[in-house]
Amino acid sequence: MNVEDSYRRYFPLVRERCRRLLGDGPTAADVAQETFVRFLQTRVTGGDDGVVRWLYRCSGNLVIDHLRRRRTTVAVDDLAPSPTSSHAETAALVRSFVGRLAKDLPSEVMQAGLLIHVDGLTQLEAAVVLDVTERTVRRWLDSFGQAAAALDEGAKP
């Protein structure tokens, strides 16, 4: 597939995912662009399914890197969870503490948290995207939920 076909086919979903994770600003556009540049420079196999999983992982890693670099650790309004996210309570905590969580948690735990709580993926889908077992995803989600709850507890007056 040439660059024009690749761009027109896959860039829209990359752009949407970055907006979902980072809001509708220039940062989301930058991360979407960076994700796509890396995609163009990598041989990704597996057809549409393989490409989409790769794009989710890559954009997730770049978003996490961005959150870690950012000076402020709290980003209340940046995240725009998917309407399909069924974890409203944790999703709200994620919105409040995403910067701190990104700095405190290993990347794979953060990836799982974003996929489940912001994208609204099922645990099975997150396991497929991250290429691990569902059990591992559950364990990472436990870590993620505990970290979010601890931050919430610490923020109470």
Distance in Å, CB of 109 to other proteins, minimum: 8
Burial of 22 (0-12, 13-18, 19+ CB in 10 A): buried
Contact between 106 and other proteins by CB under 8 A: the answer reads yes
User: Which residues, including other chains, have CB under 8 Å from residue 29's CB and lie 6 or more apart?
Assistant: 15, 18
Site for other proteins in 2-41 (CB under 8 A): 3-4, 6-13, 16-17, 20, 33, 36-38, 40-41
Distance in Å, CB of 65 to other proteins, minimum: 7
Give the CB-side neighbour count of residue 31, counting CA atoms within 13 A.
Answer: 28
User: Which residues, including other chains, have CB under 8 Å from residue 3's CB and lie 6 or more apart?
Assistant: 40
Which residue from 27, 80, 104, 152 is in contact with other proteins, where contact means CB under 8 A? Answer: 104
First to last CA, the chain: 56
Contact between 45 and other proteins by CB under 8 A: the answer reads no
Binding site for other proteins (CB under 8 A): 3-4, 6-13, 16-17, 20, 33, 36-38, 40-42, 48-49, 52, 54, 56-58, 61, 65, 68-69, 71, 82-84, 86, 103-104, 106-109, 119-122, 125, 129, 132-133, 135-136, 139-140
